[in-house]
Chains A and B, each alone.
Chain A
């Protein structure tokens, strides 16, 4: 595609966009890029990098307290920032479509699918006749891979699966035939198989209808097979813009490399490399390059000069004073795996059934050996969380048999003895809800000490400091309330609360799914360290990449039944069950074989 052709097909052009919070604190600055028709571009960044701010700015929207102060956004020849009133309303949706992160909350639960689509279409094109409306809706539904019969149109959003809901979101965006579509992490709430299908649909639609798409995500692996180009964002600036092959093959910015190295990948078992430190919050940008304090390659001038985004190779721009030139290989590596613990099982589950309104677990049996990490893998609805909760003593309506260290284990935590209660610990999925907001970290951590071991006062404080150090947190954090901690720090505190009970078995329920990849890498490294110290882990996850990074053995659950179990290499390398093979096939991977 030559430059002239590309210019003529340009759909979006953003120049020097700047978004500020009150007090001239910039969330986003010096952002310039363009998108061609039919092109899919990923906007990648960690939480707080400003990627969502940029995405909503393309709809001329800024969240409460933020303001678009400067710049120029041109969509299909229209200057978006100069539009007012009715013209702006028509441009939103009509010109620029938007697909939100969580379809379950983005769709009005009180409206039927047909009503949703018709309402959206008529709001933008009121002159359309009845027949035309029905035809357009039917066409769009078929395009996004949904049925177009009356029965489907009469359904409510809650009667659809997550994947269907996200397809409805796509239909709502595409029914207006926009020129540009902005997608804000549209598949994070979906299972890998569903995700793969939705992404394939999106790609086909963009290509066939010549729609440019900006795909906002935190996960590089997800977009690898989807996008044409990738833009990496850090602390409100674009730090690297490159074609897909260039970015994954020879990333030039140290941050991009660090991000790639932090992603757990199903195809390679190697220690994940976390990025040290934090991304700066808006208003706390250091002088010079914002990434310099975390960069291993920083030089003296990095702290002085803020590097502009300049050409590095053809169609490859990078904002770094010393960009890397050599290519980066992420080949599949044959894992060497030696953990064979022949010890007696620490935990045994036999014939476990759990039924709420319907049965979620059917006759599940498993054994966790002393010192190993067993990963419990399954998509949503597979019953993996119900199983973990039953083991932790939080389950309801459980039947079957649990044995811990050779002794029977009660189903309700209250009926277990003190030793079992402190030796089996559970870390919750969402670090934002796992800590009491009205207690300081010190109070949270010292409560189990007093409860289990009767340790109070100076000795308790000493133990709290020791456990904080074990999870790599400063002792001063004990004075703080959880609301002043980041998600990763909160999860560390939650792990510390489990560790201070001196557990033998740690049940982790998707504990990294709410965290950024670089934070996830550091939490996984922490868990591996704890495992090396003798802790037994039961790790619940839906992410096979994470499984590869941490697990010794894997158990695959599907709709409440065990499909396959075995060592991680065996299950991920030579899966026997068809379901496991599908899972592995659809798991996003960075490896280039």
Chain B
């Protein structure tokens, strides 16, 4: 599985370019920003000017500077949350799928119960109780996503665990971790990768939603989701203050989504065509 094979798929290339562009913008943005994100420079909801190409926001900050500074938090938090959910969920799901006994019942039951609880309500509940530290938000979003991954990993693992090559490995007496991570995991990677891309998208949405509701990143720090919340009152006066961060979130979500789907496609194809 080399990069070159993944890059041969046009969808992967397109997704990678879009994701990379938004990520670069968020990473380098703080250095490129002409002003500090918290500096009040112009009139409230001021129109675009030479000093502020996108105009000013509800407190008179330079919108462009806030936009450039406000991406990093969304990006790292969504990436961290999705990765944590993938690692925890895949491990639990694999374990459940292979054991097929009481452990399976316990894990599946727990996953089902938490799936029945709406994600956003769960996150809001935890954040409103325990505070809004970034790591806590990441953790709660990951917790909200984990049951879905468990379900997916378990379902895929059950299908693979019945295959004869897994039985052969059991017969040889390979250790359980080896069967889980070397025999089964590579064969269920495709759906997991696609799901990872989806989780990234959902996490961006959820984090922005949290900020919008006032439970995410605390003001006056710049954050795309928070910006939509802060500036909604001026939507008709200064639409860019809301539209620009919303657009960036959308583009990032689109990029990660098609990237994950492309990788999933290529990965599925390895199972069929001679590598």
Contact = CB atoms under 8 A, between A and B. Distances in A.
A392 interface: yes
Contacts of A501: 172
A413 B171 contact: yes
Contacts of B186: 436, 438-439
A392 B171 contact: yes
Given A394-B170, A484-B275, 12 more contacts: A394-B167, A421-B173, A436-B183, A436-B186, A437-B187, A439-B182, A447-B172, A451-B173, A481-B274, A481-B275, A483-B271, A484-B274
Interface residues of B, number: 20
B2 interface: no
B197 to A, nearest CB: 20
Given A394-B167, A426-B168, A433-B163, A438 B271 contact: yes
B31 interface: no
A163 interface: no
Which 10 A-B pairs have CB atoms at the shortest separation, nearest pair first? A484-B274, A438-B186, A428-B164, A434-B164, A436-B165, A413-B171, A433-B164, A421-B173, A433-B163, A437-B271
B50 to A, nearest CB: 58
A431 B142 CA distance: 40
Interface in B222-275: 270-275
Interface in B169-221: 170-174, 182-183, 186-187
Interface residues of A, number: 30
Interface string A539-575: 0000000000000000000000000000000000000
B273 to A, nearest CB: 7
A254 interface: no
A428 B167 contact: yes
A484 B275 CA distance: 8
A480 B171 contact: no
A433 B165 contact: yes
B93 to A, nearest CB: 18
A448 interface: yes
A358 interface: no
Interface string A400-422: 00000000000001101010011
A51 interface: no
A435 B165 contact: yes
A426 B171 contact: yes
A434 B165 contact: yes
A269 B111 CA distance: 59
Nearest to A438: B186
A479 to B, nearest CB: 9
Interface in B84-139: none
Contacts of A448: 172
A93 interface: no
A201 interface: no
A384 interface: no
Contacts of B171: 392-394, 413, 421, 426
A434 B172 CA distance: 13
A483 B167 contact: no
A430 interface: yes
Contacts of B172: 413, 421-422, 447-448, 451-452, 501
A447 B56 CA distance: 63
